[in-house]
Amino acid sequence: MTHDDLSMDKAFCLHCKHLSSAQLHICPVCNEPLRQRKKNSISRTWALSLAALCFFIPANIFPIMKTLSITTYENNTILDGVFYFYKNGEFFVGTVVFIASIFIPAVKMLVLFFLLLSVKIGSRWRREEKNSLYKAIHLIGRWSMLDIFVIGLMVSLVQFGEIAVVTTGYAAPSFAAMVILTLLATESFDTRLLWDEKGKK
Amino acid sequence: MNENDALPRGLRKEERGISLVWVAPIVAILITAGIIWESYINAGARITIVIENGEGIKDGKTAIMYKGIKIGVVEDIRIMPDDVSMLEITALIDKESSDGITREGNQFWKVAPKVSITEVSGLDTIISGVYIAVMPAANSNEELMSRPYQDHFIALDSPPVDIFDPGLSLIVSAADKGDVSIGAPVLYKKQAIGIVEDKKLSTDGEGVDLYLRIQSRYADLIHEKSVFSKMDALQVKASLSGLTLKMGSFTSFLSGGINVSNTQDTFASPKVKQKQLFSLFESFEESLLAEDEVHLNMKEGSHKLEAGLSKVYYRGVEAGLVSALAYDLTKEETQVQLKLHKEFRVLANKKAYFWLVEPKIGFDHVEGLDTIIRGNYINFTTSDTKAKPKRAFTLNDKKPQREGVQVLLHARNLDNIQEEMGVFYHGLEIGLVSSYAISKEKQSFIIELVIEPQYRKLLNASSLFCHKSGFELKAGLDGVELKSGSLETIVRGGIAIETPNFQADARLKKSYKLYGSDAELRKAEYLSKKGIFLSLIADKLGSLKEGSPLYYKQIRVGEVVSYKWNTQTKNVLIDIFIIDEYANEIHEDTLFYNASGLNASFSLSGLEINMESLETIMSGGISFYTPVSLEAKTARNHEQFPLYGSKDAAMNQYKDVTLYAKDSYGLIAGNTVMYKSVAVGHIESVSLNKEGVALHLKINSRHADLIKEDTLFWSEVFEVSLQGVKNFSAALKGTYIVIEPGNSGNKGEYFHLMPKKPVAHFKEKGLRVVVQAQRLGGIQENTPLYYRQLRIGSVSQYRLSDDATGVDIEVFVEPCYAHLVRANSYFYNASGISVDLSLSGAKIETESLESILTGGIGVATPDDAAEQAKDSQLFVLHDEIDKKALKWAPKLYSSDPMCE
């Protein structure tokens, strides 16, 4: 009848962060239902992470930016951009772009899957470090949208008619969707699950 | 009721089963799949193109273009696995276009910027990079779609024929390829209307077939009679009127080109079909040439013609060219082949005459000047354009004889008469010299003229002919006039015709004399009139010469025919001719005089110039004067008359007078001799003799009475001194001689010339006394002598006294007053004014107003008058009058009855 995993009689309101008695069921401050864990956390995280992973593929294989100018007609994938910077000696910028656009989304998804699997098997191994990992991806995940901002700016600014026009490729919406989905997936993961005993809910 | 539902919301057991959140990955998968499908599987058709040169092609960037629109992109380029010399391109064609592109027969070629001297194309690719263009196999969609599927193509080297504008294909056969290269333009009025697509040796190997493609929109310009000729990249046309340098387009200069020309009748000819055959001409001019050749042969002479270059003219119009030259060794003649223009071909007929034009330049003769630039050429003409055409002709080296009226001239001297010289009537060329020959007698030349028939009426029996040189110089007072004919006549000269009488017999004389010059002709013209001849005897010829005019009342009535030296009489005999109508004016007593030059007389009253005519100034002339006398008979032919040197000499008789002088005082021949300011004669000549100068005067016989034994002659010279200007008129007229006639009854001939006017009252009757003064004071010659303030004489001269203690003044007293001067008369200086100041007032006394200015001498005779003073008696000149003298009042009476 009672939840095994409610180890304590206190409940932390996920909405207003007010700690109140678990018996109340409803947060006395913000009137939100009190929950011990995020709703459907594992399932949602799985679904969103997988969706993000789906978008990761077109985001990287299709051109993110199409440049049309009188001299050139170019389709650039994200990796093309990275290579471009490296080729031109801009290692720092190339690295930033690579980390922000490819490495971080990929790492985020990997971390999420790792955490999900950890919860699944109920591993108790290095739970603190896992928590830190989560905090890290939660913190840096939003910066991945930088790419989209840059492209958005480029597309809106570089509209010089015959001389140069920049348009977005398939990768851009895919990339944006991927970043949003990883953010949502990260958000939907409840780190407290890492501490829950396996089979002991 | 479910137990779980009863629980508070936060504690409710999580729902099992599939959560709605799983829609997200499903959607994600669907979208991704969709993108991949769109991008790869459904992207369009992939084709492979084999190309020889992949320069500039970049995978992912190089576009496949159709009519300037991108329809695909090169995905990959690599070396063909089985042929390393070729490249294989994989291109992705957009889905919309892929159906049409993957059809058999479509053609692909690479468009790269091509900048060569002959062509600039694909400039857009400089910026955009090369691209691959595609030309569909058919120009309609259905036709294209009905073709079988193909996705492997071999690219072309050069752009294919535009399927949408296939144009008109023509084959032009040329003798050789020439300078026309593939891609060379086909031009019509310098507008490119097509290109040379290909060239091949013709099947018979005789020439080259050029395959032209004319753009469809210009296809209507090509008719069966259109002329295809090689473009003249550089055209140089030179003639006397200028040099034209024409250059075709730069392209044609380098790659050659084909010109299409249409003439008027071209458009009437039917239009052409595809693959129509044409032949290519070397030039447009060549296309106008008739096909058959005209043969000329020339026996001798160098022709200096050049095959292909030398032109043939028909009356100055270019009518063809020399196509070939050959020398026939057996016949020893030059054979010239001509190609005439079609329209001129018929003119080379039985009546045609061909001759060679080459430059002939001499000082007197220039011909064929144009050939210097054009080169020698052949001219031809025909007298009958309707005659039957002929093929073989003789090439002459002379112009054809002109048709017209023949006129024969004879001349002693041929001068510069040449064949082809013009014959001019008042500057109008009416014919020419056709030939000349030595006459049978070997004494003269016979010159044959041909006068154009329409000018026949200008000639008759009275016509005169003279040799005309280019320049005629006429000099007159109004300037020098240089008259020249046309440049041609300057160089060539010519023959001038003058017909003085159009009423004369219209028939031509058998032969005319050719006069050597215009002047000769004029003379002949003159002498052809009726008149009489007279002989004039003159001391010298003067400026007279043959042709000098004879004037009567300033009308030209005749002229000098000839002159000769008469050895017996030692004078010149001048034969003159007078026209009949004036002959009656010559009487026995007619005076002839030389009217040469001009006669100017100059006086204070003005300048007077007399001359017969301008002509006489230059060439001399004779005039005559016939006194009115009824009895005198008119002159006979060849009667002799004296010729006077001037009109003056003829009209007046003179008395000769000779003067001797130490100096000529500036007198020269021609100076006048004056008496009372009237000219009575002139100095004929001035000569030197032992003592000095001898002046020979001519005194007009009317004034001969003035010359007596004791006549005085002195010279009047213009003098300027403080005392005044003397003889101003001599300044203008020159020094002249004045005579003072004597009273002697005897005539004289030899006289002495006094240098100046003798003293006043010289030789006049009267009393001459000498007054001695210490100083001359204001006394001069003519200073008056007063007696009671009345002028009774004057100072005639003065000089220093012999001992130099004073001045001796000779005073002349007029005869009627001579009795007033007595031996005891008192002379005083009456010059100036005496002013007497006293308490009662001022008193001014003077002898006369004149004496204030010129001074004067007064004389007073005391009451006890002595006897009358004698000539040369001495008196003393007192400086002041004695008061007593004023009161003297002797009663004196003249003894001379003339003075009453």
Q: Which residues of B touch A52 (CB under 8 A)?
A: 28
Distance from CA of A198 to the nearest CA of B (A): 16
Are the C-beta atoms of B190 and B249 separated by less than 8 Å? yes
Candidates A186, A45, A165, A182; CA nearest to A100 is A182
Distance from CA of A124 to the nearest CA of B (A): 23
Please give the Cα distance from B262 to B283 (Å, whole number): 13
Angle (deg, nearest 10), helices A91-98 and A78-87: 160
Could you say which of A44, A55, A71 has the minimum Cβ distance to residue B32?
A: A55
Q: Where are the alpha helices (DSSP H) in B74-214?
A: 95-101, 124-128, 141-145
Q: Check residue B16 and give its pLDDT.
A: 54
Average pLDDT (A69-96) is 83
The torsion angles phi and psi of B651, rounded to 5 degrees, stand at: -80, -30
Please give the Cα distance from B66 to B142 (Å, whole number): 18
Candidates B266, B183, B265, B270; CA nearest to B228 is B266
Which tokens hold the place of B521? 């002709």
With b for 16 or more beta-carbon neighbours within 10 A and e for fewer, the B407-426 pattern comes to bebbbeeeeebbeebbbbbe
Chain A and chain B share a number of CB contacts under 8 A equal to: 95
Candidates B111, B91, B110, B89; CA nearest to B101 is B91
Query: Using the beta-carbon criterion (under 8 Å), do A71 and B13 form an inter-chain contact?
Result: no
Q: Which residues of B touch A174 (CB under 8 A)?
A: 31-32, 35
Amino acid at B116: S
Q: Check residue B687 and give its pLDDT.
A: 86
Mind listing the domains of chain A with CATH numbers?
A: 1-36 (no CATH), 40-194 (1.20.140)
DSSP 8-state secondary structure symbol assigned to residue B269 = S
Candidates B530, B529, B469, B466; CA nearest to B500 is B529
Q: Check residue B611 and give its pLDDT.
A: 66
Distance from CA of A170 to the nearest CA of B (A): 7
> Based on the number of CB atoms within 10 Å of its own CB, is B874 exposed (0-12), middle (13-18) or buried (19 or more)?
exposed
Which tokens hold the place of B380? 């031809």
Residues near A93 by beta carbon (within 8 Å), at least 6 away in sequence:
A85
The torsion angles phi and psi of B891, rounded to 5 degrees, stand at: -95, 115
| Residue A172 β-bridge partners | none
Query: Using the beta-carbon criterion (under 8 Å), do B61 and A177 form an inter-chain contact?
Result: no
**Tokens 């050939």 sit on residue:** B371
Other Cβ atoms closer than 10 A to B717: 18
Chain A residues in contact with chain B using a Cβ-Cβ cutoff of 8 Å? 1, 3, 6, 11, 22, 25-26, 33-36, 39-40, 43-44, 47-48, 50-55, 57-58, 62, 70-75, 170, 174, 177, 181, 188
Q: Half-sphere exposure of B457 toward its Cβ, with a 13 Å CA cutoff?
A: 1
DSSP 8-state secondary structure symbol assigned to residue B801 = -
Query: Using the beta-carbon criterion (under 8 Å), do A26 and B8 form an inter-chain contact?
Result: yes
Please give the Cα distance from B220 to B588 (Å, whole number): 101
Mutate to test the interface with B, among A14, A18, A50 (most CBs of B within 10 A): A50
Amino acid at A192: R
| Residue B194 β-bridge partners | B186, B214
Q: Which residues of A touch B70 (CB under 8 A)?
A: 73
Could you say which of A25, A47, A170 has the minimum Cβ distance to residue B21?
A: A47
Query: pLDDT tens-digit profile of A26-65?
Result: 788 888 777 777 777 888 888 889 999 988 888 888 888 8
Residues in chain B: 900
Could you say which of B15, B21, B127 has the minimum Cβ distance to residue A48?
A: B21
Are the C-beta atoms of B779 and B857 separated by less than 8 Å? yes
Please give the Cα distance from B101 to B138 (Å, whole number): 11
B63 touches chain A (CB under 8 A): yes
Mutate to test the interface with A, among B13, B14, B71 (most CBs of A within 10 A): B14
ipTM, two decimals, is 0.81
Are the C-beta atoms of B611 and B599 separated by less than 8 Å? yes
Candidates B320, B379, B324; CA nearest to B354 is B379
Could you say which of A44, A75, A174 has the minimum Cβ distance to residue B21?
A: A44
Nearest chain A alpha carbon to B38 = A170
Are the C-beta atoms of B3 and A1 separated by less than 8 Å? yes
DSSP 8-state secondary structure symbol assigned to residue B455 = G
Residues 672-691 of B with CB under 8 A from A: none
Q: Which residues of B touch A20 (CB under 8 A)?
A: none
Which tokens hold the place of B107? 């053609």
pLDDT along chain B (900 residues), means of 10: 51 58 86 83 81 82 83 86 87 82 86 65 69 84 84 82 76 73 79 80 79 83 82 65 66 72 77 80 75 78 72 80 81 82 81 78 59 75 80 78 78 75 80 80 83 84 75 50 56 74 78 75 68 82 77 81 81 84 79 74 63 66 77 74 77 80 80 82 84 83 78 78 66 77 76 73 75 82 83 85 86 85 86 65 66 77 85 84 81 75
The torsion angles phi and psi of B592, rounded to 5 degrees, stand at: -100, 140
Please give the C-alpha separations between residue B378 and each of B235, B242, B316, B398, B515, in angstroms, as whole numbers: 22, 21, 10, 11, 36
Q: Which residues of B touch A54 (CB under 8 A)?
A: 25, 28-29, 31-32
Please give the Cα distance from B266 to B223 (Å, whole number): 6
Q: Check residue B255 and give its pLDDT.
A: 66
Q: Check residue B795 and give its pLDDT.
A: 85
Q: Half-sphere exposure of A179 toward its Cβ, with a 13 Å CA cutoff?
A: 22
Please give the C-alpha separations between residue A40 and each of A177, A185, B589, B829, B840, in angstroms, as whole numbers: 21, 12, 172, 176, 174
Q: Check residue A200 and give its pLDDT.
A: 46
Distance from CA of A6 to the nearest CA of B (A): 9
Query: Using the beta-carbon criterion (under 8 Å), do B128 and A71 form an inter-chain contact?
Result: yes
Angle (deg, nearest 10), helices A127-140 and A104-121: 150
Candidates A102, A97, A72, A73; CA nearest to A84 is A97
Query: Using the beta-carbon criterion (under 8 Å), do A55 and B28 form an inter-chain contact?
Result: yes
pLDDT band at A5 (very low <50, low <70, confident <90, very high): very low
Mutate to test the interface with A, among B15, B20, B21, B36 (most CBs of A within 10 A): B21
